[in-house]
Amino acid sequence: MASALSRHWQLKAGLTFLNHGSFGATPTLVLEAQRAWRDRLEADPVKFFVEDHEGAMDATRRALGEFLSCAWDGFALLPNASIAVATVFANHALHAGDEVLMTSHEYPACQNSARRAAAMRGASVVVAKLPFPVANEQQVIEAIMGSVTSKTKLAMLSHVTSPTGLVLPVEKLVPMLHARGVATLIDGAHAPGMVHVDLGKLAPTYYTANCHKWICSPKGSAFLYVDAARREGFRPLALSNNAEKPKAGRAQFLTEFDYVGTQDYTAIYAIPDAIAAMRAMQPGGWPAVMKHNHELAIRGRDVVCKRLGIEPAAPDAMLGSIVSMILPGHDAQRHARVMARETKYHDALQDRLLHMHGIQVPVWGVAGLTMRICRISAQVYNSIDEYERLAGALEGELGYERGL
């Protein structure tokens, strides 16, 4: 059974939803706010885009600036972090012989953008192999900094890794990389709303995140924060009419990113509503929400690990509110048979958990490794009973696989 707070969401009755991390889930109150924005726009689309759109975008920038402790005018508001990463690679200078550094736990779409940009410019991508399981953050720091060379010009690092759920020590890595002359692109897709983020203090070259994940805004709402020294000449992937219409007293960076063509911007307008709605979910506001979700994720992990007889793959201090567990393995031949099963997801086990047990949770792996990972999420609408249910389902399904 989900928690009492699940009444604020529209998740299907009877579904055990333990995958907030993939696309998020938006509270009904925030969806209603988005609908109000859409109704206002549709009442007179021309007037809205000409007279109201810029103010709505700036209101979102100001809300994010307050939430993330940074200047509001450094935000480019975009549909998702993947587009933000592609935008950085389209703007950041790379030359033949340069190196782009990333880790083995980066999100595949971001890896694709890095490889394409490097190939187009004669640069190369260097992959720092992160351990998993991991014992401490020093292992991560050594793996990343040990991969820096005199040719490294840009490091793309996740704040929270997608496949493995590790909170990387970016507050230590960013200044270390900058001291070596390496610009930083932090993919914080999962971070804001999961862990405390102070962009003013962190001071990366670029930072992007999806607001539709842990801030719980509507789908298609994200940001890219660009350091002040890099904003002049930093441009969107697509240039709208705004590109040739500078506005007096307004930075061209804001003008061009305000409007990149006709699309539904209402998810972006609703980000401040999501920040406020989620703040109200716990008496202690956002710090209490993050603490609750972290503690529930750890409790859920412990329930599953105990049931399956496995050990945690990372220390609690390196986790937020998503946790990846390494499932018990099979011998090589059985593993091949198990992985050959048809699936609409990454692993047929995920299909079976959903369609036979009503549990939505990802089962996947890390590139280059044969281990299978189950990643749980914890949001205020979840309860510990749901992880007990998952533990029982996994135990039964793994037993079934041993008979294949």
Q: Is-contact 397 349, C-beta < 8 A? A: yes
pLDDT value at residue 210: 98
Looking at the domain assignment, is residue 259 inside a domain? Answer: yes
Total domain count for the chain? 2
Average confidence (pLDDT) over 130-138: 97
Task: Say yes or no: 293 and 273 in one domain.
Answer: no
Instruction: Tell me the average pLDDT of the chain.
Output: 97
Alpha-helical regions (H) of 185-263: 199-202, 252-258
Banded model confidence at residue 121, pLDDT cuts 50, 70, 90: very high
Token pair listed for 329: 């393995």
| DSSP designation for 251 | -
Q: Is residue 106 in some structural domain?
A: yes
Stretch 202-206: mean pLDDT: 98
Distance CA 331, CA 347 (A): 17
Residue 257 buriedness (CB in 10 A; 0-12 / 13-18 / 19+): buried
* Residue 102 and residue 61 in one domain: yes
Q: Look at residue 119 in the predicted model and tell me its pLDDT.
A: 97
DSSP letter for 363, please.
E
pLDDT score of 370: 86
Query: What integer is the mean pLDDT of 225-250?
Result: 95
Element spanning 352, H or E: helix 348-357
Confidence of residue 142 (pLDDT cuts 50, 70, 90): very high
CATH of the domain at 314: 3.90.1150.10
169 and 310, same domain (yes or no): no
pLDDT tier for residue 367 given thresholds of 50, 70 and 90: confident
State the average pLDDT over residues 239-248: 91
Q: Calculate helix-pair angle for 332-339, 348-357, nearest 10 degrees.
A: 60
Nearest of 31, 89, 379 to residue 221 by alpha carbon: 31
- Alpha carbon separation from 12 to 6, 202, 214, 391 (Å, rounded): 10, 39, 19, 21
Residues 205 and 289 in one domain: no
Domain boundary residue, one of 246, 277, 308:
277
**Same domain as 89, residue 48:** yes
List alpha helices for 13-107, DSSP H: 20-23, 28-43, 45-47, 53-68, 81-91
* Model pTM score: 0.97
Q: In terms of domains, do 14 and 78 share one?
A: no
pLDDT for the residue numbered 369: 83
Domain's final residue, options 277, 298, 314: 277
- Whether 401 shows a pLDDT value over 90: the answer reads yes
At residue 252, the pLDDT reads: 97
Q: Are residues 118 and 250 in the same domain?
A: yes
Could you tell me if residue 23 is inside a domain?
no
Other C-beta atoms lying within 10 Å of the C-beta of residue 69: 13
Q: What is the pLDDT of residue 1?
A: 76
Classify the phi-psi angles of 203: left when phi > 0, otherwise alpha if psi is within -120 to 50, otherwise beta: left
270 and 358 together in one domain:
no
**Would you state the pLDDT for residue 379?**
98
Asked whether residue 333 is assigned to any structural domain, the reply reads yes
Note down the domain range covering 99: 29-277
Read off the tokens for 146.
């040990």
Q: Are residues 167 and 142 in the same domain?
A: yes
**Inside any domain, residue 24:** no
Helix (H, G, I), strand (E, B) or coil at 301: helix
Contact 358, 14 (CB under 8 A): yes
Confidence of residue 192 (pLDDT cuts 50, 70, 90): very high
Residues 257 and 252: their CA atoms lie apart, in Å, by 8
Task: Specify the pLDDT at position 138.
Answer: 98
Over residues 299-337, the pLDDT tens digits come to: 999 999 999 999 999 999 999 999 999 999 999 999 999
Query: pLDDT tens digits, residue range 38-86?
Result: 999 999 999 999 999 999 999 999 999 999 999 999 999 999 999 999 9
What pLDDT does residue 2 have?
83
Are 74 and 226 in contact by the 8 Å Cβ rule? The answer is: yes
Are residue 43 and residue 184 in the same domain, yes or no? yes
Task: Take residue 52 and report the two structure tokens written for it.
Answer: 């109201």
